[in-house]
A and B are shown apart, each in its own frame.
Chain A
């Protein structure tokens, strides 16, 4: 057993409970199960309360047709309790999994912070390594959820992949795994993918035959893992990063009304006029973030947005105005107005 394989296996052992849980009872199924248990729990609870209340409210007794529902309140109550017990079990298991996934419910400010945990191994990589065949790392990687998404992202068809998997000259076992050195941050699936592409000549040839460079493959890996993690990070409603996005009350009570500015200018904040396409553009989002960062400075907070006619400069401002209106901006420019 080489050192890298040992490092990964050691970390897998530490998170074995959560890894087994996710293998037997995957995240998607857990989510559906919790919803399926929660809905009847609430409905039966309500039904129980209503049926219990019917005989005690004269108005209901007189108006409702005679049924035996009022005698069944304890049955509804009992079933609601059973669903509650299941829901508590599922919720506790979910918290257990999330705690393992995020390395505790730490207060992470951004996605970058999550990635920067020194010396660790990301849970995604542990999941990947746990699930794959240790005698065939490349095959296991490609057949995993993450690996499959990366291959699809690279634009390689299913048929070509199946052909590749069955016609390989050499199979890469875990004992030959050499992970790249990671100076800051933790080991991620992209480092594993890098190790594969370095060690597996067949994989390199396959990618090369599709015009995909090593960097292209690693970028695709990075993209898939970033998307996966971003979704999970956004679901952490309890994190300061997510809670802090909710606009505060009464912050503008110390500011006055702007009669003169409003008389000679048009207020963009709150109009919601930025274009749909632009509001979903990564480039526009980046520009808005840059402007936001400049305007949030305590000194020399001036931003020039320069561009040819029709390139959407006004839309950039509209996007910033929408962001301010929704409160999802940096603290210093919260509740500020944008006039045009």
Chain B
């Protein structure tokens, strides 16, 4: 009685509620990757100077050398910021794509799981006795 109840409830859950649960877990993982790689923050500050390092020595007026030097330093710092942020955003996007592909594979494997377990056991016995 107990075992048949467990089995019936399990199968009902496996091909019903479990898909919603897996979807929730994967959505949480994607949300986490957005948070972990700070994608929204990095996109908002994509062109900001690296660690706010800017040349503040140029105070205006006709100082072409000072102006050029400050502009160059600021452009370089913004470039450094842009490149480092882009790399991190790219890494985050790669991880998200990886999770999306994994999700598809997990959904397929989950559907086939009961059969998959039987196949694994069969192959395992075959390998042991080979």
Chain A interface residues (CB < 8 Å from chain B): 16-18, 20-21, 23-24, 74-75, 77-82, 84-85, 88-89, 92-93, 95-96, 99-100, 104-107, 238-240, 243-244, 246, 248-251, 253-257
Contact = CB atoms under 8 A, between A and B. Distances in A.
Contacts of A17: 5-6, 8-10, 12-13
Given A17-B6, A17-B13, A240 B42 contact: no
B75 to A, nearest CB: 17
18 contacts: A17-B8, A17-B9, A18-B9, A20-B2, A74-B128, A78-B126, A78-B127, A78-B129, A82-B125, A96-B18, A240-B31, A243-B32, A246-B35, A248-B35, A253-B81, A254-B41, A256-B52, A256-B53
Interface string B8-32: 1110111001101110110111011
B41 A251 contact: yes
Contacts of B52: 254-257
The prevalent SS among residues of B at the interface is helix
Contacts of A92: 10, 14, 113
A138 to B, nearest CB: 26
Chain B CB within 10 Å — which of A89, A249, A250 has the most? A250
Closest 5 CB pairs of A and B: A17-B9, A256-B52, A81-B124, A78-B127, A78-B128
A74 B35 contact: no
B130 interface: yes
A251 B45 CA distance: 10
A95 B18 contact: yes
Interface string B110-130: 000100110011011111111
Contact of A249 (B28, B38, B81): B38
A243 B5 CA distance: 34
Contact of A240 (B28, B121, B124): B28
Contact of A88 (B48, B113, B129): B113
B6 A104 contact: no
Interface size class of B (residues with CB under 8 A): 35 or more
B67 to A, nearest CB: 22
A107 B30 CA distance: 13
Contacts of A255: 51-52
A250 B6 contact: no
Given A78-B128, A92-B14, A243 B29 contact: yes
B72 interface: no
B88 interface: yes
Nearest to B46: A254
Contacts of A96: 9-10, 13-14, 18
Nearest to B22: A105
Given A77-B124, A107-B28, 15 more contacts: A17-B8, A20-B2, A20-B5, A75-B127, A78-B129, A81-B124, A85-B117, A96-B18, A104-B21, A238-B28, A248-B36, A253-B45, A253-B51, A256-B51, A256-B53
